[in-house]
Chains A and B, each alone.
Chain A
């Protein structure tokens, strides 16, 4: 088994990097595990070193370069890149050879929801897998863990969305930023999140033909804009960037349609066209659809936090649609309902890079304090202030761009595949719900219909499945529940288990 660490951070984005740095500065021994090759998360992805040239970070985050440089060169931080954390096991006190309980019971963890898990102060075994490097697979002991696993693009099931050429906005941007690859020539973009306009602008600059940008919502009303004003100070640069995107798109003659939704993707073996239709203020289709020819459809309706490790650990989650769906419950110190497990960034509620970084900093500091390291009150207050400041902006973005999930769900016809992995259609799920009036949860549908049992483990169908349950039973999506998560939370090769067997502890 690898040596024990004070803290293992899952995710090397702004939250994870800031947490690792704050904790290591306070004297902790930190390991960061991330699936990507380099630190920065999705938002700060850059071209690989083999490409040469200078690192180009997005202009909206002036702190990014220094944060990554300091974290990467810090002697107190070890990195395991290209590795997946596929499970986290609490270590019971008698199984722990490390001894040494935490200096305190952890700040404010008396939520009671999952307090029956037993003594958690002995720490955790973090299970990692790296198919390309045996040294990256195995079991790592940690006194505390921080889940900073980020978010992924919110899936929206529409007819034909499994055709090659339908891609998420984050995917397209990732190919541009880190690989200098334009995914298609003729592109339609559909969504509601501000990222969509940024990606359209970047595609345009990359020589793509933007056939149309279809935005579900209308133009913001004066009342909305007034409400947004207090949130602007400090974020002028980001808003300016967005305005610049729109200006360049319009100048290039790109059609930006508000109140418009995609109703179908057309094509034989790949995307050849997209059907677009007018929608009302509630995003419901009002008029007939028209066809726009294209090689790709880019979807950008928002983000879902990656919460599978928190689920697997038994942390309590809450449904909050505007914050991205299921988010991990936490106290003011960002500790979850499982003592010793902390959360920062998008899994605590999708709020963007600025807030993620501030939350990471607070989490790193409070974990250091909980493990007995001296942490100046001034530093804690500074992190809290940065969270408050960032949340004013993120709160407005969340309200203005909150997805209308019920309307988006109605874009799926009976033949539309809700579960892409297991090719389960809406009619299969609706039929099951019709025939089984007492089935009232997303997990019940999963067991009966297999939706959520494929390699993505429900990440791309859970919200639609829960939405169908909620619609059939007249409840909310939150009441329909969520899929449970088990080890492995992502499919890993058998070698990952072999590596565990080589470690001196029982195999799960």
Chain B
């Protein structure tokens, strides 16, 4: 939450500092954070759709992750989001893996082998 304006949506996670906050005239900041938050959640849902999870805004303060059975968990920041997803599904979040987006996160060994270098000298 933005301490200056007491409006939800401007958190204290590093990813919430995309814009240098205007402490005197925070209204532009509020709109900006709401828009970015909305887009971010849309992207998260793009990632989650193949594994049957969904993300919603939790009062502009946190992220709510839910499954088809209606169970949900709260992730306060982006850092918390990925472990929550892994708790609620068999998926392993790995942007270097083959199925981070679009093909589903579960059912594949999303370990670290293919894109990662082995012990080498370059």
Report whether chain A binds chain B.
no
